[in-house]
Structure formats: C-alpha cells, structure tokens
Structure 1
C-alpha cells in the first residue's frame, strides 16, 4: 500500500498523463484533499475544482465559490460546460452515491469521463468503497491507506510543537515514535483527537504511552476474531528463568525503532508442556511485563460451517491483529484448530497455509504466544525453525519452584507465611503437582476460611489433608506427561534453568510461571 507521498506522486503522474478518471480509495477524504491541494499547487498549468454537498463547487486552491447550487447534478452540469470550454481542467467529486453497481448515476458519470477524455479533462473520485467495474476501467485507481508510523510521528510531533509553552510535555523523539507505533492503524484525524484529548490534562509523560492502546481499542471497537483480555496488576513469576532471559531481547526489539535497520520485529514463541504449568499464564505475564495490550485469537470461533468461511475469518482476525499492533496475540491450544489427520479435508490445510503465510510475511509488531498440549497433532511445517522465534517446554515445577509457588499462593489468598518445617513437608507432598494444582488447593483453603468467618490459618495437621487428597494430572496421565517430555527432548528449549552438564540424559527440566 503506497504511503502519502507515493500516492501523491502517482496521482500527479495520472493527471499529467491526462487520465480521464482517477479514483482515490480512502476512508480519509480530508487527507485526500490535502494531497490534491499539494498536486494542484505543483501543476499550476491546470485548473482544479472540488464539489461537496455542503458547499457546492469551489476552486480547490483559492476556495472561491462557483455557485449556490450544491447538488451533484449541478456539479456534473458545470463540469460538462467547463470541459467543453477549456482544456486541462480537473473536477474533484466526493460523497457520490450508487457507484458500486451499474446504476443511472454510475452510467452518467461514465459518460462524463468519456467527455473529459475528449476534452483533455479529468474527473477525480474520492471513494471509500469499490466502484462499478464499467466505470473503474475507464481510468486508474490508487489507494491511500491510513498514515504510516513515520507520518503519524511527524503529525504528533507537530501537535506537540504547537503546544509548547502551554502544556508540560516530557516526550522526546523516542516517546513520540513509540506513540506513533502504538497508534498505527488509525486515521490521522483519530490520532490527532487522541493526542489532543490527552493534552487537555496539561501534561504528558512517558507513563501516558500505555493509555494510547486503550484509546485505540475504543476507536477500532469490536475486532473480527480477536478479543481484548484485561490484565491484572498482580502477576507473579516463579521460575521460567531461561524463557524470561530470552524474552529480554524480544522486549527491547518490540519497543525499539527498527525503521532504520533491516531487522524484523519478533514473531513470537510456541510454548508446549504439561497442562496447568503456566503456558497460558505466560502470555498474560508477557503482555503485562511489556506494557502491551493482550488479544486472544479464538480459533474455535474462527472455524465456520461453510466452505471458505473459516479462511475468511482467520484472514480478518490476523488483519485485525496487525491493526492493533504493537500487541501480544495469544493463541491457546493451537493444535485444536490446526491439527491434521489422515481423513481431514482441505480446510485445515488452507488454514495452516494462511497462518504460516501471515507468520512469514507480517511486519507488524504482533508478538504471538501460542500454547499447545498435544504437540503430536501439530503440523510439521508449523514447527519448522523460523516459523516461531523459539519453542520452549514448560515442565512440572521442581522442589524449589514448588516452595516458591506454595509461599506465593498462601501470601496471595491468605496473607500467611508458613513455618519452614511445614513448607518443607508440603513441598514433599506436592511432588508431581502443577502450579494450577497448588493454586486450586490453597484457594479452597482460603474459601473454607472465608465461609467460616475466620482469618486464622488452620493447624498444620488440618492443612496437610488438603494436599494429600489431591491426585494431580501427572499421576492420572503419567503416560501423556512422559510422551510430552520425550517429544520435547531435543526439539524445545527448557523454559526453566538448563540442566547441569553432568545431568543424566533426558532429565526433565522443571520450571513454572505462576500468577
């Protein structure tokens, strides 16, 4: 999609070539008019007239009115007379209805285009929707997309310069650039409205950047196929040392200005592992830590009942993710939508192809966090190096992590600290527990205390049975856990601390993110 200057150059070339019809597709007519004024100022040998329903016909540069009748019929009649009397005249038309199909209006306009061609004139249409093919093929079309990041940065900086001395602004070039990246995907008018609204508080600091995503959400409204996930303020991390270390560089790249480099933004990460060990929570923790909005791609909602519907929905959802970037996009249990089997039709293969194409070609700052439990169902092409930036395996928590997790949940739900002896015993009892298992037990204890109206922690001999009576997933599904570990060995990096050099081959790496 050409940017503002490229579109300006194309329109100028079309008019110099006397193309009789130039269609400019855009949802920002005011921005297109700025473009045309720039072209008109460069080509002084031509006359430019514009028509609008509110003000009728005016000279584009001088804004001198050409009559009181504001109707389209009057504008077309004026154009007809002017084309016959003078050469190299251009008429700009906006808000023309009934052009999508063959109608009396579109046929009439097609006749006007033929007259313009015979008289070396041009009609310039500003449209937000496609026009009738019979009309469109009489000329040339060009699309003006919403402002690029560079254009938005220039616009925001101009507004800030205008407010100098009136508002306390603590944004430097880096913050302005970051703001432009966050607002990429909205129109110029919308970006101006957002910044001016924030400036009414008479101050603007680096901490205000996070609010831009909220404004952007309000502007874009409901997005096809993705939903905004609200984030809490109390995410806590226990373990996942290697994953956290790996994410440091990705956060820097997500927030850095890469426009002057050949670097691409990070693509994302695939997390596989034992259910309940923090894979889904990782997506929330990453978004919270990076200060980015979190969106969930609902793959179940993507799958349609009609041929072609699923592919269309996925395309719309991924396009929506690009519009709201920078963001974290969470795809939970991705294998349920992209799993392959011997008897399945072509829909899944088309979805896989479309998804892989987006992973390969998208240049937006959309960091994908995909999770999977049944890794054997994933298509091999999804796991090829380069699709995701990396794949990590999240295993059951080891003793050190379980101690940290137990203390964390007792503090969160009960604001209580355990004695070293009791903590040691609970760590032993919870061998094989996932983080969600521990969370569930401590939450149940807190719920019982609440219903009994007490804040006193039960005696130690009454706490132990709560944990002893639990049969964790790792025991009921021992074979599945062993299969996951065997698959991950050699394919994934451990999300936790790497094994010591003298560790036995195939030893499980156990680290967990909790919250």
Structure 2
C-alpha cells in the first residue's frame, strides 16, 4: 500500500476498500506517526476520536463530524488525517447535504494539506465524488505478515518443536486469507490436531473462498496420467512444470502466463485444467465468471479486483476459468444491455493478463470460440492455444484403460482396442458414461459387467458429435492455423461411426 506517497503528495480524498479494519488502521497509524501527521478517527458509535490524546467528541452523524472539522481544516498545522469508517452506508442514502459537506471539506483539506480517508469493506462512490476521491488498493497479507500471526498463535498455544518446513507449509496454505481468517484457521488446526496442520488450514481456506462465491479451491488430485491421449498438450505442460521453481527465476525464465483450450464438451478440457495444477504442483483456484457480474453498479469491477487480489496473494497458483466464453460473450455488445459493464470487466481482465507480474497461470476453456472477442485470442494473452478434437482410436483405447481402472475393474478383462473401434466419434465423457451404464445393467442382475453390456450401452448412446457434425467441422476449420492440436491428428476422427453387434463373436 502506497499511502505514504499519497499523503506526501497532498491528496485530500482517499479511500481504501478492505474488510481488515484492524490491520489497516494499524498501518495508517504507523504511516501518520512516521510523517508526523495527527490522526483523527470517526465512527457512528464512537464519534470523532483524537487517537493521540484520546479525546472523544460524540457525533454519531457524519454530517456533524465534518462540521467539526471545518475549523482545523482551515489551518495548516498540524496536518491532519481523518479516518471515516463505514461512510458508504451513508453515501448509499444519497443525502445531498452530506455530499455537499464532504466536497466542501475536501476543498478545505486540499488547501491546507489535510487528508480525508474513507475506510470500509465496499465502495461505490456517487458521481459527485468519483473525481474527488482516489481509491488505493490494499493487498491481502503477505507471508511475512502471516508469519507474525502464526508465531503469535504458536506462542499462545505453547507449541514446541514446530519445524521450519511445517511453518512454511502452513503459511503457504494460509495465503489468500485475511489476518483474522488466518488466525482462526491456525487456531482451529491446533484444536483439531494438537498442532499446526497445513491440511486443516488449506481446508478452511477452501471453505472461506467458497463462501465468498467468487473463487473455489479445487483439490489438485488429478494428474496428467488420468488423461487419455492429448499427448501434445501433456508434453507442453510437462515442459513447463518447473517454470515456477526458484531455479527458473534465477535462470531468468519468465513465469508462464496461461493456456487456452478450445474444443467440444466432454473432450477433456476441464480434466486438463485440473491436471495442470497437479503437474505444476500448485494450488488450483476455480473462477466462475458468471458470479463476477453483480447487479449493483460497480460491483462487477469490485468482484474482479477481489478475484485478482486473492489469486495473486495465493500465487504461485493455477486459475481455472471454465467455459470462459459464457462470461465474456457480452463484451462484444455495444453496452446497451448492461451499461458497458461486460466491456469494462473484460478490459480489466485482459489488462491484468497482459501485465500481471505474479505467477498466476490461467487455464481457460471454451466450447464456442466464436463467442470470444478477437482481442482475447491474440498472442500475449496466453502462452499457447490448443484445440482438443474428438479422440482417435489410440486415444480412445487409452481412455478405456483409464475409465475401466477408475471403477475398480481390470482393463485386461476386456478388450479396450475393440471397444475403441466400436465408439468412434465418442468423447471421453461419453465413454465414461457408457461404462457407467454397463455397470448399472450388470449390478441390477447381480454380476460383473461384460463386453456385451458395454456394447449394448454403446448402441443405446447417440454421441454428441453426430448431433453437432456441422459445429465440429466449423471448429476444425477455425483451429487450422490458429491453434495447436492437443492430440495426435489422424483421419479416423472424421470417419463415420462404426457399430459392432453385441452378439457378434
């Protein structure tokens, strides 16, 4: 936070959005002490408080508090910093007298070097104040700040022999939390496990982010071995698995920016996003772009800032955005439907992807690339763009091996090669659904599934590719020369489906 610079430059109106009131006020007090500024703090419950002398002037109405500041604001010594808590609640009421008084106070403050600082967990400035007040970004706590919290918890609990490796693991698990949330997670870890347990801390972080409704922590339990085919894509990921290591930084290697995966539903795009985090050994965050957009003016932009701040605090990490075209399709409009909100959020997101310095690897998936604006696809946004086609025979064979093993059966009890030949134009998701259908049929008869059950389920399934042959042709035409092939391109993908009679030998 560059509050010191803004105060030295003489900004009369500042605002900081944060739910960490205690940590923020402590930093403001430190800055004021270093700059020899007098700090006054107001709230509707305490009134106007002189933090140095402890003098309190009761005034629950912010209008009265601003009137009390007229006299000191008309002098140039000592320079004041006036902290106003939760003023947003009063700005929401559109009180014209309060707006006028605040503008007058800012003008007086500007003339004599004073500063009015708004503090709250949200901010939506009315048009009258948008050019009068500057918003300062406030980052989530750094590892060093969380270290102080962790040390305090360890000392309070009288824990002994907490290794350095365990401390670092606990801090990594807590990144992205506020100091209060981290303190609660550390304390819960001690209560549940009688010590510092990074797994419990990570679980609480996942629950906290999930409650926010914007980001979700996904356990990185999927590996590249769980993906059938897509060898080109997997090799590309394996080649960048060490790019987030400290050795890469010393080598001068920039952190990878991200990956865009385009293809039909069910072809393994989402599975690849999960496997990417496993291959890189990084935490996986899932962003639902639909939740970013809010109904209140300014809420969407604030939500995106929260997402970016959280992802960068947890970095290095993988940020997964599924079906990204659904979130940004509205950015191509003129703004007549949403007042330009989609375009502003889209522009902010592109700028962040282009300029981000923190190691946040973005994995975006898309089914309908035609809905994405052209500027989203140009080089520099992502390191690479891959097209996932329908699996060929070899890839389907690998998928059958994985699916059969996933449900506790031995692939050698079946013939994955024959099954692969019988399900041309099937996606990986459809192959798994077919095997599940066979399991249900066999379970109903109290036996293990056999090849005939699988082939019967295949006959009863119409693959999505047959219903979307025109869409597939269009995607393939678009991807040619624009995106790299994720798997091994073979002519078998375009041949009509071959059926096998389940009664045949």
Q: Distance in 2 between matches of 1:312 and 1:111?
A: 25
| Larger-gyration structure (1/2) | 1
Listed one character per residue, the Cα deviations across residues 429-486 of structure 1 (whole Å, up to 9, x for unaligned) are 234433233222211111112333x13334x556544435655455665565455445
Is it true that 1:494 corresponds to 2:485 in the alignment?
yes
Is it true that 1:8 corresponds to 2:4 in the alignment?
yes
The Cα RMSD (Å) is 4.9
1:60 equivalent in structure 2: 51
Is it true that 1:244 corresponds to 2:234 in the alignment?
yes
Match of 2:150 among 160, 183, 194: 160
Say if 1:358 and 1:157 are closer, same or farther in 2 by CA, change over 3 A. Answer: closer
Match of 2:27 among 24, 35, 39: 35
Q: Structure 1: where are the runs of 5+ without partners?
A: 500-505, 511-515
Is it true that 1:297 corresponds to 2:307 in the alignment?
no
When the two structures are aligned, how many residues end up with a matched partner?
Answer: 468
Q: Distance in 2 between matches of 1:39 and 1:285?
A: 45
Q: Distance in 2 between matches of 1:272 and 1:387?
A: 15
Higher relative contact order (CA 8 A, sep 6+): 1
Q: Distance in 1 between matches of 2:170 and 2:285?
A: 19
State the TM-score, normalizing by the size of structure 2.
0.71
Q: Trace 1:66-465 onto structure 2 (pairs within 5 A).
A: 66=55, 69=58, 87-88=77-78, 90=80, 92-95=82-85, 98=90, 101=94, 103-105=96-98, 122=114, 124-128=116-120, 129=123, 141-148=133-140, 151-162=141-152, 163=154, 166=159, 169-172=162-165, 175=169, 178-179=172-173, 182-183=175-176, 187-200=178-191, 201-205=193-197, 207=199, 210-211=202-203, 213-217=205-209, 221-223=212-214, 228=216, 236-248=226-238, 250=240, 252-253=242-243, 265-287=255-277, 290-298=282-290, 315=301, 318-325=304-311, 326-332=317-323, 334=325, 338=329, 351=343, 356-363=350-357, 366-375=360-369, 379-413=373-407, 415-419=409-413, 422-452=415-445, 454-458=446-450, 460=451, 463-465=454-456
Q: Distance in 1 between matches of 2:54 and 2:330?
A: 64
Say if 1:158 and 1:432 are closer, same or farther in 2 by CA, change over 3 A. Answer: same
State the TM-score, normalizing by the size of structure 1.
0.69
Q: Secondary structure at the match of 2:448?
A: coil
Say if 1:266 and 1:382 are closer, same or farther in 2 by CA, change over 3 A. Answer: same
Q: Distance in 1 between matches of 2:276 and 2:405?
A: 22
Q: Structure 2: where are the runs of 5+ without partners?
A: 312-316, 495-505
Say if 1:507 and 1:321 are closer, same or farther in 2 by CA, change over 3 A. Answer: farther
